[in-house]
Amino acid sequence: MKKIFTLICCILFQHFLFAQTEVISGVSNAIMLEADGNDLYITQTDPTHKITKIDVTAASPSLIDVSNPLYIGYALLLNGQDMLVVNSGFSRISKLDLTGTLPVSPSDVVLGLTDPYDMVLNGNDLYVSEWSNGRISKANLTDNPPTASIVIDIDGQFGSDYIRALELKGNDLYLGLQNRIAKIDITSANPTLVDVVTHSENWIPDLLFVGNDLYFPLVSQGKISKINITESNPTIVDVVTGLTTNPRGMARIGTDLYFVDGTSIKKIALTSLSVEEVDSNATIKLYPNPSNDHILLSNLNKMYT
């Protein structure tokens, strides 16, 4: 019986994907997200140019100003009691002291970057994507001052291969590139790109791991998809479709995946289904297909314990 129930869940999942819930609307030009407990931090560009946050446990969340105005803020990254911010308009990484009285003004951390967009932290090393010149740089945050050095530069090697999104899994740094997702080994003295999967987008705004599943928005297609990196040839699987405008940043709180969809922050519940082996010779019918309200399953006549 367990196998039958699990199979039904999988069929429903494939047909209806994940149900999305709007958390808050009216968030102008939201770009990226970062979670800290029940607080969800948001970067907003024109016209506000600031960092805000909401309490996701509130029945009707409202925006709280966290920072004074920035100039083109992109990625956020929590580091202890500090929130690191890509302050792209000033070509630097800044930080906000979250213990201070809100809103707080940013202070400089890493200077001299070119169009920084995303960042990840490995120990004390901060890796930053510089999207317009196609390179990854890193800086040790314990240095005074932290100075960026180039990890890999792919500018001009693969056409307009802008690097935007970054995500770290073990020693592998995953990169969101034009028409593909690739990775490098950060322990290598001379890292080289290894392709992971190809896609049809000009750019990937964010990457997020949940276990071995790597989630990413497909902007022009209005959806969020994922791959399983344990597969030798990963297949792109749609998670959320039919988004209205430009899905962007993502963050996970508990079992919920939050994401930017235009001027709204939405969420879906992430559910892991374990599928045991089902008799491949069985003929299982699902009808009517498609259906607006109900479905029927036939030939599930074998019972299991």
Q: How confident is the model over 16-27, as a mean pLDDT?
A: 83
CA neighbor of 139 nearest in space, from 161, 156, 157, 116: 116
**What does the pLDDT read at residue 17?**
56
Residue 270 CB-density burial (10 A; 0-12 exposed, 13-18 middle, 19+ buried): middle
What the block records as the tokens of 24 is 């808050």
Across the range 14-21, mean pLDDT stands at 64
Sign of CA dihedral 268, 270, 271, 276: positive
The pLDDT assigned to 161 comes to 63
How far separated are the first and last CA of the chain, in Å rounded? 6
| Main-chain phi, psi angles of 17, to 5 degrees | 55, -150
pLDDT, tens digit (0-9, with 9 covering 90-100), for 40-75: 999 998 777 899 999 999 999 999 999 988 877 899
Q: Identify the pLDDT of residue 18.
A: 65
DSSP bridge pairs for 34 = 41
- Let me know: does 17 contact 9? Beta carbons within 8 Å: no
Percent of the chain having pLDDT more than 70?
A: 81
Question: Of 117, 109, 121, 111, whose CA–CA distance to 133 is shortest?
Answer: 117
**Residue 233: band (very low, low, confident or very high) from pLDDT cuts 50, 70, 90:** very high
Share of the chain above pLDDT 90, in %: 67
Range 174-188 average pLDDT: 94
Residue 163 has pLDDT above 50, yes or no: yes
Contacts of 273 (CB under 8 A, 6+ apart): 6, 9, 10, 13
Cis check: omega of the bond before 106, within 30 degrees of 0:
no
Give the burial class of 139: count Cβ atoms within 10 A of its Cβ; 0-12 exposed, 13-18 middle, 19 or more buried: buried
Decide if pLDDT at 15 tops 50: no
- Do the Cβ atoms of 88 and 115 come closer than 8 Å? yes
Is residue 155 very low, low, confident or very high in pLDDT (cuts 50, 70, 90)?
A: confident
Mean pLDDT of 89-111: 92
User: For 248-284, how does the pLDDT look when each residue is reduced to its tens digit (9 = 90+)?
Assistant: 999 999 999 999 999 999 999 987 433 333 343 444 4
pLDDT band at 223 (very low <50, low <70, confident <90, very high): very high
Residue 290 has pLDDT above 50, yes or no: no
For residues 278 and 10, is the Cβ–Cβ distance under 8 A?
Answer: no
Question: Residue 256: CB partners within 8 Å, gap ≥ 6?
Answer: 56, 267, 268, 269, 270
129: left (phi over 0), alpha (psi -120 to 50) or beta: beta
How far apart are the C-alpha atoms of 44 and 41, rounded to whole Å? 10
Q: Bridge-partner residues for 33, per DSSP?
A: 42
